[in-house]
């Protein structure tokens, strides 16, 4: 019922009450009828608005989940790509570490692959859609409490933590390279001749230190991709 009609029926009820020509019983009957009309109409109107708002909010939820699913698929694929792209770096460190531990140094191998000491590949996720949805207050529209919890954990804890690990790890690798290799002047137009320094304990330490760290990063990123795909499966189930 429109506001104008509510006012119309309310005004009519007031006129009935103040009409001295009508008996008390008649006034009660007519006023009660007007009140019933008003209450019924307002209830129907509120129910319709609530239903319409519910449909609108559900549409917002579905659009968000559909979009965030694609974002997560892209992130998981990005992690798969990092795993393949960064494998040569891990392979270099693993092989270099074995040569150092067995004292079977291949100088040409070290010089050829010296660039792997500073090669980087940062993991970054696009969290724009999630942050926009959360900051708008719409995050409450996700009715599945477990899915909401998993999305919140993924975007506010797990992904930022993994991004920071990469940032810290590669920053430290760069600093260590400058400290243990770059400053010692073994780089020229032909490349970095790390074979000249391989007997240096600090250079050996530089290599062996990062073997476990880089292999661990591969495992962590693979685990993150698995977690992301589990959340994608939850979203698929919710949408279907």
Q: Mind listing the pLDDT tens digit for each residue in 207-219?
A: 888 998 999 999 9
Where is pLDDT greater, at 93 or 40? Answer: 93
Give the Cα separation of 80 and 225 in Å (integer): 8
The pLDDT of residue 4 is 61
Give the Cα separation of 1 and 40 in Å (integer): 9
Does residue 128 sit within a domain? yes
Quote the number of domains for the chain.
1
Candidate ranges 34-38, 46-50, 164-168; pick with highest mean pLDDT: 164-168
Does residue 39 sit within a domain? no
Structure tokens at 104: 């079977």
Does residue 118 sit within a domain? yes
pTM, entire model? 0.74
Does residue 181 sit within a domain? yes
> Which structural domain range is residue 180 located in?
63-239
The pLDDT of residue 25 is 67
Mean pLDDT of 78-92: 91
Residues 6+ apart with CB under 8 A from 58: 141
Structure tokens at 175: 């600093």
Does residue 26 sit within a domain? no
* Distances from the Cα of 45 to the Cα of 26, 52, 57, 59, angstroms: 29, 10, 18, 21
What mean pLDDT, rounded, does the chain reach? 84
By mean pLDDT, which of 4-13, 91-100, 105-114, 176-185 is the weakest? 4-13
Residue 67 has pLDDT above 90, yes or no: yes
Does residue 54 sit within a domain? no
**pLDDT > 70 fraction of the chain, expressed in percent and rounded:** 78
Does residue 225 sit within a domain? yes
pLDDT digits (tens, 9 = 90+) for 136-177: 888 888 889 999 999 999 999 999 999 999 999 989 999 998
Residue 193 has pLDDT above 90, yes or no: no
Does residue 28 sit within a domain? no
């Amino acid at each position: 019922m429109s506001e104008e009609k509510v006012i119309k029926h309310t005004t009519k009820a007031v006129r009935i009450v103040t009409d001295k020509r009508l008996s008390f019983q008649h006034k009660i009957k007519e006023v009660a009828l007007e009140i019933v009309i008003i209450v019924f109409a307002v209830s129907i109107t509120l129910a319709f608005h609530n239903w319409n708002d519910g449909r609108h909010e559900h549409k917002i939820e579905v659009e968000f989940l559909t979009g965030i699913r694609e974002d997560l698929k892209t992130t998981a694929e990005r992690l798969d790509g990092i795993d393949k792209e960064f494998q040569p770096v891990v392979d270099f460190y693993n092989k270099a570490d074995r040569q150092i531990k067995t004292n079977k140094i291949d100088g040409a191998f070290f010089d050829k692959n010296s660039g792997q000491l500073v090669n980087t590949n940062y993991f970054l996720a696009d969290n724009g859609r999630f942050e926009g949805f959360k900051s708008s207050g719409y995050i409450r529209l996700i009715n599945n409490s477990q899915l909401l919890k998993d999305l919140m954990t993924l975007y506010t804890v797990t992904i930022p933590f993994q991004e920071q690990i990469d940032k810290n790890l590669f920053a430290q690798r760069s600093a260590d390279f400058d400290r243990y290799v770059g400053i010692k002047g073994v780089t020229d137009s032909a490349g970095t001749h790390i074979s000249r320094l391989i007997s240096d304990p600090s250079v050996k330490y530089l290599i062996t230190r990062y073997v476990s760290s880089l292999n661990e990063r591969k495992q962590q990123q693979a685990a993150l991709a698995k977690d992301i795909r589990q959340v994608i499966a939850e979203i698929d189930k919710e949408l279907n």
